[in-house]
Structure 1
Amino acid sequence: MSPSSQRIATVYDQVIARNPGEHEFHQAVKEVFDSLGRVLTKFPEYVEESILERICEPERQIIFRIPWTDDTGRVHINRGFRVQFNWRVPAMVAMLAGYVGLLGLTGLRAQLDDLFCSAGFAPG
C-alpha cells in the first residue's frame, strides 16, 4: 500500500468517526478520495499540506429554525442546515467539481490539467 493510499484510508476513517450516521457524505468522500489516488501519488505535497482533511471539513455551517403550521393549525419547528465548503482552497477538488474559474493558480492548474487528462478526467 502506497503512502498516499495509507493516508487516504486514515483520513477516510477519521471522516467516518467525525460524521457518524452520514452515509451519503461518507459515500461522497469515498468517491472523491478514490478519484484522487493518482493525483496524491504524483503530488505528495498535497498530502503534506493536509488537503484531504481540508476538503472534508466545511468552512462554515449555519443551523436555523423553520417554523410552519400544519392544516390543523398546530405549529411545528424544524431545523434547517446550510453547509459551505471552500472549493477554492484545494485546487484539485475544485477542478473535479468544475469550479476551475475560481482558481488563480495558473501554474498549478496547468500541471493538474495535464495530470487529469492523462488519468482520463476532462478538466472543466
Structure 2
Amino acid sequence: MSGKDRIEIFPSRMAQTIMKARLKGAQTGRNLLKKKSDALTLRFRQILKKIIETKMLMGEVMREAAFSLAEAKFTAGDFSTTVIQNVNKAQVKIRAKKDNVAGVTLPVFEHYHEGTDTGET
C-alpha cells in the first residue's frame, strides 16, 4: 500500500468518531449495492430462463409451421398473393411497460391479440 492511498488524519477521539461514521456509511452503501446487484441478477436469470423456454417452443412451432406451409403449397399451389390481399391490419400487437427492479427501470414487453383470426380453426 503506497503512502498516497492513506488518509491524512490527526489521531484524536473526534477523528476516530468521524472515521467510524465514514466506515459505517461505506459499509451501508456496499450492502445496498450488493442487494441491488442480487436483485438484478435474479431478474436477469428469470428473463434468461423465459427466453430459453420461448426459443425451445418457437423451434417446435416453426417446424410445424414449415410442414403446414409445405402441405398447403402442395395442395393449393402458390397462394401468397391471396393471403397478402386478405390481410389488412396486424392482429398481434406488443404492449410496452416499465418495471422497476432495485431502482433500475427495465422495459417489459407483452404481446396481445387484437381482433379475430378468421383463418384459424
The alignment's TM-score, normalised by the length of structure 1, stands at 0.34
Give the greater-gyration-radius structure (CA).
2
Which has the larger helix fraction? Answer: 2
